[in-house]
């Protein structure tokens, strides 16, 4: 029991920010894939949202969009523009179109774009980062000549999480949370349900 208590104590310390991002979308022969493994961090840490193209495809000259799919355009904006979590266009980042909360906090691995790696790094995570993330490549210009069905690559992000039940200290697993979730100290299943999560099962 001593080792189990020690593990639980360590878990209580570590599981402050838990993320599982599953990214997948098939378009023709190409697939955008993310890691099925959890990413554990604490507020203030940096996280990477994994996303890459299979088979490898040079996307250096393409537009890469990371956005919040639940974000609505400002009704006062005649052009109905939506700001991005991160936007890469014309071989460079476009900071002017980013959400204010992500300015100077996100980056692509530009040296790896030739290999189809479009993972996003978010620096200094906080509770404000609780949201869904969408990775999108609007056009595949070089591939369209040979792959007629390839018009775009995109993916939908799902997140799963683990948190501790304050009543009996057992771990509870949520099959599906709506996006990135920071698990605050003493957060339980009721807290998650009140925030719009569903499919919560308890494991004693």
For residue 109, pLDDT over 90 is answered with yes
Write the pLDDT tens digit of every residue in 58-78.
989 888 888 887 877 777 766
* CATH number of domain containing 52: 2.60.40.10
Domain co-membership, 103 together with 193:
no
Residue 74: inside a domain: yes
DSSP state letters, 82-117: --BSEEEETTEE-GGGB-GGGTTTEEE-GGGGGGTB
Domain co-membership, 89 together with 168:
no
Write the pLDDT tens digit of every residue in 135-169.
888 764 322 222 211 222 233 333 334 333 334 43
Domain co-membership, 47 together with 98:
yes
CB–CB of 157/34 below 8 Å?
Answer: yes
Residue 73: inside a domain: yes
For residue 134, pLDDT over 60 is answered with yes
How much is the pTM? 0.57
Domain co-membership, 126 together with 168:
no
Domain co-membership, 167 together with 114:
no
Q: What are phi and psi of 8, to 5 degrees?
A: -65, -40
Per the structure, the count of domains in the chain is: 2
Which residue range is the domain that position 195 belongs to?
Answer: 161-202
pLDDT of residue 36: 59
| The two three-digit tokens of residue 101, written as one number | 């909360």
Domain co-membership, 70 together with 142:
yes
Residue 15: inside a domain: no
């Amino acid at each position: 029991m001593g080792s189990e208590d020690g593990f639980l104590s360590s878990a209580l310390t570590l599981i402050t920010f838990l993320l599982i991002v599953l990214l997948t979308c098939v378009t023709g022969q190409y697939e955008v894939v993310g890691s099925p493994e959890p990413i554990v961090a604490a507020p203030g840490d940096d996280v990477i949202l994994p996303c890459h193209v299979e088979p490898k495809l040079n996307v250096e000259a393409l537009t890469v969009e990371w956005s919040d799919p639940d974000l609505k355009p400002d009704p006062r904006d005649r052009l109905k523009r939506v700001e991005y979590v991160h936007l890469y266009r014309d071989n460079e980042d476009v900071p002017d179109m980013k959400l204010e909360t992500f300015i100077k906090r996100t980056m692509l691995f530009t040296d790896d774009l030739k290999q189809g790696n479009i993972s996003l790094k978010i620096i200094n995570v906080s509770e404000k980062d609780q949201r869904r993330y969408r990775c999108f490549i609007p056009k595949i210009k070089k591939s369209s000549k040979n792959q007629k069905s390839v018009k775009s690559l995109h993916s939908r992000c799902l997140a799963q999480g683990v948190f501790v039940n304050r009543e009996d200290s057992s771990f509870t697993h949520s099959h599906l949370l709506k996006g990135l979730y920071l698990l605050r100290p003493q957060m339980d299943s009721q807290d998650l349900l009140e925030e719009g999560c569903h499919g919560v099962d308890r494991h004693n």
